[in-house]
């Protein structure tokens, strides 16, 4: 796995396995100006999706200090100006329909609370948009939480209230498989042809309680049904554009982005290379086909499967996307529906060794700001992308709940 750390303008590369071609890296490098650094430091930056809790479940680390792996820790967040990352409470689809999904969600929330308890001078749970703004003035990094996969709700609206009270502020309705709420973009079964009957009752309940609805991962039918039912704007917390990854339903097409904008919502761009370019998407598909072919030929006990991806990469180098290609996604949304409907949802700590050249961890946000400046975006426009748009949506969701909850 590649580990890359950036401290403002200095890039230090640590690689395990193949080393990226220097010419490829320098082509994508961006020289960060003082203006970009200032914007990053003086603006609230909201990232819609970072998988720190599940990362720590698999291998514990103290992210209140510098860590040797992963994409997020306190020093790198400070270096990048990131101060409001949504902590993803990710529950695998394999736990759908079991009490274990609800238990895991609570355990992951516990882990976020533990981060804050260890370093209350650095982090604070954010329950409201006002919390985010207040923490920013105090120099604290806000940790709002979003639940990736609605499986832990277990068909019980009482659980919705419990998770809201614990700090969950958005729910991604499904993940890699259809669940009791919604069909998934990854699941060909389409058992509900969109939302389930319970899902159709959950949407207004989320509106009334003040819970953001996240349509990342859901099928197209579920997306449109959600927009029809929701009285509040919705978000795509970590999705990119199908225009650049044809046939990849997990991303959103132009018609969906237009509908999202009409709803008042925001698409938050995923940084993972396979979300950004068709080449990286095709590489991932090729890996899966090759692995399945080996499995069929030699069986699940084949020793070649143990380190298959590393072996595959030697003969088929991974086609990393670049920061410029991430910026292309932002540009397209802006040209299609306006500056008010795009944000950032990196998927740091969730997409493994697939992050773009120039956006390798949370310290890189000044590079993204510089890229936007280089493309002619004004400071007030950049601030909307960094946080203004998603905070507006979150405030509208809060306001609706105050009036109707």
Q: What is the pLDDT of residues 46-63, one digit of tens each?
A: 999 999 999 999 999 999
Helical segments of 210-322, H only: 220-229, 254-263, 273-276, 278-298, 308-315
Q: What is the pLDDT of residue 17?
A: 31
The CATH class that applies to domain 3-277+320-404 reads alpha beta
Q: Can you tell me the distance from the alpha carbon of 334 to that of 327, in angstroms, rounded to the nearest whole number? A: 11
Q: What is the pLDDT of residue 178?
A: 97
Q: What is the pLDDT of residue 264?
A: 98
Q: What is the pLDDT of residue 11?
A: 28
Written as six digits, the tokens of 208 are: 């009334």
Q: What is the pLDDT of residue 301?
A: 87
Q: Can you tell me the distance from the alpha carbon of 176 to that of 250, in angstroms, rounded to the nearest whole number? A: 10
Q: Can you tell me the distance from the alpha carbon of 209 to that of 169, in angstroms, rounded to the nearest whole number? A: 10
Q: What is the pLDDT of residue 29?
A: 67
Q: What is the pLDDT of residue 30?
A: 86
Q: Which residues of the chain have pLDDT under 70?
A: 1-29
Strands 145-148 and 168-172: parallel
- All structural domains of the chain with their residue ranges: 3-277+320-404, 278-318
Q: Pick from 349, 381, 390: which is nearest to 132 by CA?
A: 390
Q: What is the pLDDT of residue 122?
A: 98
Q: What is the pLDDT of residue 21?
A: 38
Q: Are 322 and 273 in contact (CB under 8 A)?
A: no
Q: What is the pLDDT of residues 323-363, one digit of tens each?
A: 999 999 999 999 999 999 999 999 999 999 999 999 999 99
Q: What is the pTM of this model?
A: 0.92
Mean pLDDT, all residues of the chain: 93
Other beta carbons within 10 angstroms of residue 164's beta carbon come to: 17
Q: CA torsion sign, 117 to 122 to 126 to 128?
A: positive
Please list the residues that pair with 47 across neighbouring strands: 85
Written as six digits, the tokens of 163 are: 């998770």
């Amino acid at each position: 796995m590649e580990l890359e750390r950036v401290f403002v303008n200095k890039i230090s590369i640590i690689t395990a396995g193949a080393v990226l071609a220097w010419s490829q890296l320098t082509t994508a490098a961006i020289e960060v100006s003082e203006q970009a650094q200032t914007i990053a430091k003086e603006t609230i930056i909201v990232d819609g999706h970072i998988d720190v809790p599940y990362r720590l479940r698999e291998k514990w680390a103290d992210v209140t200090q510098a860590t040797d792996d992963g994409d997020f820790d306190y020093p790198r967040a400070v270096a990048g100006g990131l101060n409001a990352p949504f902590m993803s409470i990710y529950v695998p689809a394999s736990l759908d329909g079991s009490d274990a999904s609800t238990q895991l969600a609570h355990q992951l929330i516990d882990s976020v609370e533990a981060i804050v308890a260890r370093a209350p001078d650095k982090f604070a749970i954010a329950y409201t948009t006002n919390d985010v703004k207040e923490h920013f003035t105090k120099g604290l990094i806000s940790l709002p939480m979003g639940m990736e996969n609605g499986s832990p709700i277990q068909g019980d609206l009482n659980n919705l209230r419990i998770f809201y009270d614990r700090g969950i502020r958005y729910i991604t309705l499904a993940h890699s498989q259809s669940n009791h709420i919604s069909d998934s973009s990854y699941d060909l079964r389409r058992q509900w042809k969109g939302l389930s009957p319970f899902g159709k009752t959950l949407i207004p309940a989320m509106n009334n309680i003040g819970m953001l609805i996240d349509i990342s991962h859901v099928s197209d039918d579920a997306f449109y049904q959600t927009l029809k039912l929701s009285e509040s704007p919705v978000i795509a917390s970590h999705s990119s554009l199908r225009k650049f990854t044809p046939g990849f339903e997990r991303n959103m097409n132009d018609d969906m982005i237009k509908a999202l904008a009409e709803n008042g919502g925001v698409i938050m761009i995923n940084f993972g290379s396979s979300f950004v370019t068709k080449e990286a998407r095709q590489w991932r598909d090729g890996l899966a086909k090759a692995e399945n072919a080996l499995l069929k030929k030699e069986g699940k006990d084949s020793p070649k499967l143990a380190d298959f991806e590393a072996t595959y990469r030697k003969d088929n180098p991974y086609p990393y996307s670049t920061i410029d290609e991430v910026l292309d996604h932002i540009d397209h949304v802006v040209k299609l529906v306006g500056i008010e409907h795009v944000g950032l949802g990196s998927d740091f700590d969730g997409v493994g060794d697939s992050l773009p050249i120039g956006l390798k961890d949370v310290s890189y946000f000044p590079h993204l700001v510089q890229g936007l400046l280089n493309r002619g975006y004004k400071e007030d426009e950049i601030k909307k992308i960094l946080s203004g748009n998603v905070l507006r949506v979150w405030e509208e969701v809060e306001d609706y709940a105050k009036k109707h909850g």
